Amino acid sequence: MEDTLQQLTSNITTLKWMLALVTLLLLIVTAFLIFALKLTRQAFKDKESQAEAEIFQSRAAVLSDEGKDAELRKLAEDRLLEYTSDSWAHYFLGMALYRLRDPFLAKQHFIKAGELDPRMKSVADECLEEVNRMLSEHKPRLV
């Protein structure tokens, strides 16, 4: 009888350890699945954000080519409300402002575009040369 009781106790202890191991494995699998879900969501957000950026750039380029500078300004300003670090939005806003004869603001946005994306620096610098040329020709009026 004592031998049976000891074997039963041993079996219960083994079952406890097995249950603890299964619980641990379930926790590990759950943590892995949560991590994988977060990565998937982030990848989806990144892809969605990239698609939105490409749509913005295409639309802005069309407006710029068509000379619709007021619409381009609005589009770029709206984009910057949500994506303040979008170098293309700064660039297109700078273009619109330059064409709308606001060289002071245009200059700020061209500088910002070059700072945010070093690949755009040469394009932004070319635009800045034009803006600086416009500013040097700008003569203050006497009131």
pTM of this structure:
0.66
138 backbone dihedrals φ, ψ, rounded to 5° = -75, 120
67 backbone dihedrals φ, ψ, rounded to 5° = 75, 20
Q: Which of 15-19, 23-27, 38-42, 125-129 has the lowest mean pLDDT?
A: 38-42
Residues 6+ apart with CB under 8 A from 88: 53, 56, 57, 60, 113, 120
Chain segment 121-143, per-residue pLDDT in tens: 999 999 999 999 888 887 665 55
pLDDT at 27 over 70: yes
Burial of 95 (0-12, 13-18, 19+ CB in 10 A): buried
106 backbone dihedrals φ, ψ, rounded to 5° = -55, -45
Q: What is the mean pLDDT of residues 47-66?
A: 92
Both tokens assigned to 46 = 């990144």
Radius of gyration of the chain (CA): 31
Q: What confidence category does residue 112 fall into, taking pLDDT thresholds of 50, 70 and 90?
A: very high
